[in-house]
């Protein structure tokens, strides 16, 4: 298994879009619009691969000089609960630190808040709806 940064466009990006669609959109009866995917162009795209297969991914958007937003984390069903999500978040935090960015923020699906709480993220503010399901904003200030 290997964690890496991938480029926008190309075969690996296509695999990432398929993984995100399968794990994050199809279960909600949704798809990605071309317009939405366009914004990936400016983001940091992280992937976890096993051979030719993409089994996990995550996206980072640099908001400003102090904050990075972690988005679209997804691990293939058969590989969940094996530490891959944790490794993706840890890599995101390392990338933030390398850029001297000390805060990570994210919109957590309410059902997944425990995953982020275990990684030291705290809930901020009230619940809100995104992609038709309850979410909470969570943040972590890095050491
Ligand atoms: C959420 C997700 C990325 C976590 O990845 P993962 O590889 O399964 O997570 P890990 O194996 O690193 O889990 C770390 C800890 O969080 C817990 N955890 C993982 N997924 C969880 C979930 N959905 N709800 C509650 N706890 C969860 C694990 O049990 C583990 O706890 P432990 O250390 O006490 O054993 C993955 O389950 C996933 O892709 N889910 C579907 C898509 C999704 O909801 N993405 C998040 C959008 S905000």
- Domain count for the chain, please give it: 1
Predicted confidence at residue 75, as pLDDT, reads: 98
What is the average pLDDT across 22-49? 96
pLDDT tens-place string over residues 70-99: 999 999 999 999 999 999 999 999 999 999
Predicted confidence at residue 103, as pLDDT, reads: 98
Locate the ligand 1 atom nearest the alpha carbon of residue 116 and give its number. 16
* Average model confidence (pLDDT) across the chain: 97
Residue whose CA is at the smallest distance from ligand 1 atom 10: 83
Residue 37, domain extent:
2-141
Instruction: Determine if the pTM surpasses 0.85.
Output: yes
Q: What is the DSSP string of 70-87?
A: EEEEEE-GGGTTSSHHHH
Residue whose CA is at the smallest distance from ligand 1 atom 2: 85
CA distance 127 to 28: 18
State the distance from the centre of ligand 1 to the C-alpha of 115, rounded, in angstroms.
Answer: 5
Q: What is the CATH number of the domain that holds 26?
A: 3.40.630.30
Residue whose CA is at the smallest distance from ligand 1 atom 31: 115
pLDDT band for position 13 (cuts 50, 70, 90): very high
pLDDT band for position 32 (cuts 50, 70, 90): very high
Task: Please indicate whether residue 109, judged by its CB atom, sits closer than 6 Å to ligand 1.
Answer: yes
The answer to whether 57 and 93 have CB atoms below 8 angstroms apart is: no
């Amino acid at each position: 298994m290997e964690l890496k940064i991938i480029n926008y466009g190309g075969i690996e990006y296509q695999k990432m879009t398929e993984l995100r669609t399968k794990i994050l959109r199809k279960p909600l009866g949704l798809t990605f619009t071309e317009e939405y995917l366009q914004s990936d162009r400016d983001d940091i795209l992280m992937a976890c691969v096993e051979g030719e297969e993409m089994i996990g991914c995550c996206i980072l958007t640099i908001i400003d000089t102090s904050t990075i937003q972690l988005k679209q984390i997804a691990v293939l069903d058969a590989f969940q609960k094996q530490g891959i999500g944790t490794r993706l978040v840890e890599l995101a935090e390392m990338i933030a630190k390398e850029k001297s960015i000390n805060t990570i923020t994210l919109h957590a699906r309410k059902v997944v808040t425990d995953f982020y709480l275990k990684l030291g993220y705290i809930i901020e503010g009230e619940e809100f709806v995104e992609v038709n399901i309850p979410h909470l904003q969570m943040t972590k200030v890095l050491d």
